[in-house]
Amino acid sequence: MEPNTTPNELDVTEFALVFEELTRIIIRLPSIEKLSFTTLSVLHTLSRKSPMRLTELTANEQVTQSGITQLVTRLERDGLVERRPDPTDGRVVLVHITAKGADIIHSRRLDRIAQLSTFMEGLTPEEKETVAAALPALRRLGELGNGMRT
Amino acid sequence: MEPNTTPNELDVTEFALVFEELTRIIIRLPSIEKLSFTTLSVLHTLSRKSPMRLTELTANEQVTQSGITQLVTRLERDGLVERRPDPTDGRVVLVHITAKGADIIHSRRLDRIAQLSTFMEGLTPEEKETVAAALPALRRLGELGNGMRT
DNA sequence: TAACTTATATAAATATGTGATATAATTCTT
DNA sequence: AAGAATTATATCACATATTTATATAAGTTA
C-alpha cells in the first residue's frame, strides 16, 4: 500500500487496520457472562430498538429466520426478551428486550468503557486531544455507514 | 471561562459508544464466504502470527482446547491451515496458515477498506483531517491494549 | 372467495462446542 | 536414571446451535 504523500490526508487502509486491531482487543476483553456471539448481537440490536419483529431481527442478524425464532425462544426462556403480539397484524411477534436483557448489554458496555479508560491513560494529553477531536467525525462516519445499509 | 478555551477533553464513554457503533456496522457488512465467528477469529489470529501452537490458540480464542483441536481439524480439512510438528518438542502441533487461509482474511480486509472508503467519502475534508490526525493515537491505543493483556 | 403472500413455528439433520478422559512427550524429583 | 508429575494434543460422549425443508396461520390480492 502506498502511503499518502499529502500531509494529513486520510489513509483508509491504515484506518481500517487500526480499527481492526482495536476491535480485536475489545472482543477479547474478558467478560463474566458466557453468551454466544449471536445472542449478544441480537440483544445489542434490541437494546438499540425494541420491540422488533422477528423478520426485522432476521434481516439484521446473520442467521436464518428459523435460527432467530429459536434464539428468541432461548432468550425468552432466560428472561432476556419477551414475545408480544402485534395488535395490528396477527401474524407478527414483537420481541421486546427486558430490563434484565438490557442490563447485560449495559454492564458489558461499562466494562468496555472501564478497560478503554485504562488504555487511554497511556496516551499523552496531545494524543487524547486528537482522539477527542476526531470523535464527531467518527460519529458521523457511523451515521453514514448506517444510512448506506442496503 | 468560555467553553471554547477549554481544551477538548476526551470523553471515553462517547468514544466507546462511537466505536461500538462502527464495529456494529463493520460486522454487518455483507460478505460472501459464510464462515463462523470462531473460524474467522482463529484465521485472523493466525494471519497475525503463524505458526502457533494449539495451546497458544486456545489462550487467544474463547473456546476450549478440545474445541480448538476440532476447529483446526476442520480448517485443515478445508485447506486453510496446516498442522506440522515442532522439531524441538514432540508433543506440540504447530498450526500454519495456508495461502488460501490468508487470502480469506486479506480479501475480507479489502472489502472492509472499500466499504469504509465509501463511507469516508461522506465526510468533509475537515472531518477527514481530524480522523487522520487521530490515527497515530488510535494505533498506540491498540498497542497499549495489546500490552495490557493479562 | 380462492389463490397468493407474509410471518412465524416446528422437525429432522448437521454443525459446533463442552467436559471428561486418554495418550504421548517432556520435565521434575530424588 | 527411574518413577511421578506436568504439558500438549486428541478423542469420545453428550449438549447446544444452526440450517433446510415444511407447516400453519394471518393478511392481501385478483
Percent of chain A with pLDDT over 70: 94
Q: Which of B103, B41, B14 is nearest to A25 (CA)?
A: B41
Q: Residue B37: inside a domain, yes or no?
A: yes
pLDDT value at residue A150: 46
pLDDT tens by residue, A53-77:
999 999 999 999 999 999 999 999 9
pLDDT value at residue A33: 76
Domain of B45 in residue numbering reads as: 24-123
Q: Where are the alpha helices (DSSP H) in B29-98?
A: 37-48, 54-60, 65-77
How many residues would you count in chain B?
Answer: 150
Provide the grid cell at B58. Answer: 486456545
Q: Is the CB of B63 under 7 A from strand D?
A: no
Q: Is the CB of B84 under 7 A from strand D?
A: no
As a whole number, mean pLDDT of residues B90-116 equals 97
Residues 24-43 of A with CB under 8 A from B: 24-28, 30, 37, 41
Residue A52: nearest nucleotide (C-alpha to C1'): C7
Q: Which of B4, B18, B17 is nearest to B131 (CA)?
A: B18
**Statement: residue B150 has pLDDT above 50:** no
Model ipTM value: 0.90
Give the number of domains in chain A.
1
Percent of chain B with pLDDT over 70: 94
pLDDT value at residue A1: 56
pLDDT value at residue B6: 53
Tell the residue number behind the cell numbers 428472561, with chain if given.
Answer: A79
Q: Residue B5: inside a domain, yes or no?
A: no
Percent of chain B with pLDDT over 90: 87
pLDDT value at residue B29: 87
Tell whether A107 is within 8 A of chain B (Cβ): no
- List the CATH number of the domain containing B36: 1.10.10.10
The answer to whether the CB of A93 falls within 8 A of the CB of A102 is no
Low-confidence ranges of chain A (pLDDT < 50): 4-5, 150
As a whole number, mean pLDDT of residues B38-51 equals 97
Q: Residue B89: inside a domain, yes or no?
A: yes
- What single-letter amino acid sits at A127? E
As a whole number, mean pLDDT of residues B90-117 equals 97
Q: Residue A3: inside a domain, yes or no?
A: no
pLDDT value at residue B131: 98
> Per the omega criterion (within 30 degrees of 0), is the bond before B87 cis?
no
**Statement: residue B94 has pLDDT above 50:** yes
Q: Residue A97: inside a domain, yes or no?
A: yes
Q: Please report which confidence band the pLDDT of residue B1 belongs to, taking 50, 70 and 90 as the band edges.
A: low
3-class DSSP state of A47: helix
The answer to whether the CB of A112 falls within 8 A of the CB of A29 is yes
Q: Residue A12: inside a domain, yes or no?
A: no
Tell whether A67 is within 8 A of chain B (Cβ): no
Q: Residue A113: inside a domain, yes or no?
A: yes
8 Å CB contact of A134 and B136: no
From A16's Cα to the closest Cα of chain B, the distance in A is 6
Q: Please report which confidence band the pLDDT of residue B8 belongs to, taking 50, 70 and 90 as the band edges.
A: confident
pLDDT value at residue A34: 83
Tell whether A77 is within 8 A of chain B (Cβ): no
3-class DSSP state of A93: strand
> Per the omega criterion (within 30 degrees of 0), is the bond before B51 cis?
yes
Q: Residue B113: inside a domain, yes or no?
A: yes
pLDDT value at residue B32: 77
